[in-house]
Amino acid sequence: MKIADLYVRVSTDEQADKGYSQRDQEERLRRYCEINYIKVNKVIYEDHSAKSFVRPQWIKLLTEIRKTKGRRNLILFTKWDRFSRNAGDAYMMIGTLRKLGVEPQAVEQPLDLSIPENKMMLAFYLAAPEVENDRRALNTFYGMRRAKKEGRWMSTAPRGYKNMVTENGKKYIAPKEPQAGIMKWVFEEIAKGNYATDQIRKMANREGLNCDRMNFWRLIRNPVYCGKIVVPQHNDEEIKIVDGQHEPIISESLFYDVQDVLTGRKRKSAIKPVSLDKLPLRGLIHCPNCDHKMLTGSKSKGKYKHYYYYHCDCGVRYNAEVANQIFIDQLKEYRINPIAMELFSVVTTKIYKSRTQRDLSGKREIAEEIELLSLKITKARNLLLDGHIEADDFKALKLESEDKILRLEAKLANISSKPLMRIGIETLVDKVVTSFSKLDELFLSAEIKKQRHMVCSLFPEKLEYDGYMFRTPRPNAVGELILLINSGLSGKEKGKDCSVNNLSLMVARRGIERD
């Protein structure tokens, strides 16, 4: 009497959960064995895909067959697509089983493989499900590609988003807090260039992002965060970036600024995060002996206490306590003179409005540049049609021009949103005036992270220190204005009028000396 193992495989996990297909297959196989006087050795249940033979239960069965050679003669299944959906793999497995003395057979598609002509039918039975799989995969691929072109995200939501479903069953992604806020902060910090990218990742992880290094780099290069979807290149279709249907977390302008930093176009010398509260200026002071190095900081154990120093590998070394006090003393020069608060508010508002006006002219310039690039593509296309340039040259020029247009459109959108900030500008100016009226006090009371942000914001080009005073190439615009007003007021005699128009940019500065 022949002995057989019954192999029952289902197509999907859902069928495995419900069990209907498994019971139906087993019933038909047992009935076949009863009719043909075949003894059932065991029943194997499988719920993995038949695209390959890397299936848990099949591997166990094959291992058992090798160990107990001769215990069974047959492996029975209902149809050949239950055995395999890959013709090449199926032929190899049939050869392996025959060497072990086991014959595979489909009870509803029986074939005597000793007859050569039957191998043609076997090829058909095996190729048909493979073709069906390939067609289903191709339809899925084109369906997902069409959805991407329509601006839909077609996979698991990236960090900062969550997968959602509308009432009518349409899937989409939506921002998920707090990760969305963390990702926005990440992009803003990278654009500033004050910290190395991996340092920002570590800080974000402490806030709850929980992202490894490789995945983090993929995230910050993904335009999904600015509301765009990438449609990959396929055959003759070039890669495209289309408007997404989801809500963006950051602006396009910020996204492209970050890409420029990552590619080195706007790279700044990053500083290491500070762990010592006694060294708020670590990494922010240029070494006077080295061209591009910044002073680091550390502490030394003395007889009764620890001493802190800013230093460099070249031997430069400054007492941190003294340097910090000198910096705070010089920072007092940036306090707004009480009698100049109203003047400062007027000047700041006036400057803001003039810059807003310049933004409008900048908007026209960007629009003209976009128009010129579009015209350049059109001319190149005409040259291609006339045979004056090669297709590869046209493709390279088109990709370069379209990339520039995309960035310019992002800048244009950013400029268009700026006039909205005019609402409440007086309130913002009052807040700045209040802060700068006690700048040194705010610095002393702030946490180390906030102190460093204050230094980087007020002195964007870092500091220079010689052991006696600090210098900087230039403070920010607010610092320039405060020094200008304070210098103008210091020379004002009683009874004389003080107008902002009389203040010259050539007035000698007080406070942190400029080069």
The Cα 372–Cα 359 span in angstroms is: 20
The Cα 188–Cα 205 span in angstroms is: 16
Query: Strand 463-465 to strand 470-472: parallel, antiparallel, or no bridges (unpaired)?
Result: antiparallel
Predicted pLDDT at 370: 86
Neighbouring CB atoms inside 10 A of 308's CB total: 19
Most distant CA pair in the chain, distance: 124
Q: Is the dihedral of CA 347, 351, 356, 361 positive or negative?
A: positive
Q: Is the peptide bond before 175 cis (omega within 30 degrees of 0)?
A: no
Q: Which phi and psi angles does 390 have, rounded to 5°? A: -80, 160
Residue 240 makes CB contacts below 8 A (sequence gap 6+) with: 149, 230, 231
Q: Which phi and psi angles does 174 have, rounded to 5°? A: -140, 150
DSSP state of 281: T
In this predicted model, what pLDDT tens digit does every residue of 291-332 receive, in sequence order? 778 888 888 887 778 888 999 888 889 998 899 899 888 888
SS3 42: strand
Decide whether 3-134 matches 175-263 in CATH topology. Answer: no
| The architecture CATH gives domain 175-263 | Alpha-Beta Complex (3.90)
3-state SS string for 395-457: HHHHHHHHHHHHHHHHHHHHHHHHHHHHCCHHHHHHHHHHHHCCHHHHHHHCCHHHHHHHHHH
Neighbouring CB atoms inside 10 A of 480's CB total: 14
The Cα 56–Cα 328 span in angstroms is: 69
Whether 90 contacts 75, CB under 8 Å: no
The Cα 498–Cα 335 span in angstroms is: 19
Whether 256 contacts 196, CB under 8 Å: no
Residue 80 makes CB contacts below 8 A (sequence gap 6+) with: 90, 106, 109, 122, 125, 126, 129
Tokens of 39: 């003894």
In this predicted model, what pLDDT tens digit does every residue of 463-486 receive, in sequence order? 888 888 888 766 766 667 666 666
Nearest residue to 482 (alpha-carbon basis) of 503, 455, 461, 452:
503
Q: Is the dihedral of CA 179, 183, 185, 186 positive or negative?
A: positive
Domain 3-134 = CATH 3.40.50.1100: no
Residue 479 makes CB contacts below 8 A (sequence gap 6+) with: 334, 458, 459
Neighbouring CB atoms inside 10 A of 55's CB total: 18
The residue extents of the domains of the chain are 3-134, 175-263, 285-335+438-514, 339-431
* Beta-bridge mates of residue 301: 306
Q: Which phi and psi angles does 470 have, rounded to 5°? A: -100, 150
The Cα 153–Cα 147 span in angstroms is: 8
Helices (H), 242-340: 252-263, 320-331
Residues of the chain with pLDDT under 50: 13-14, 16-19, 274, 419-423, 491-511
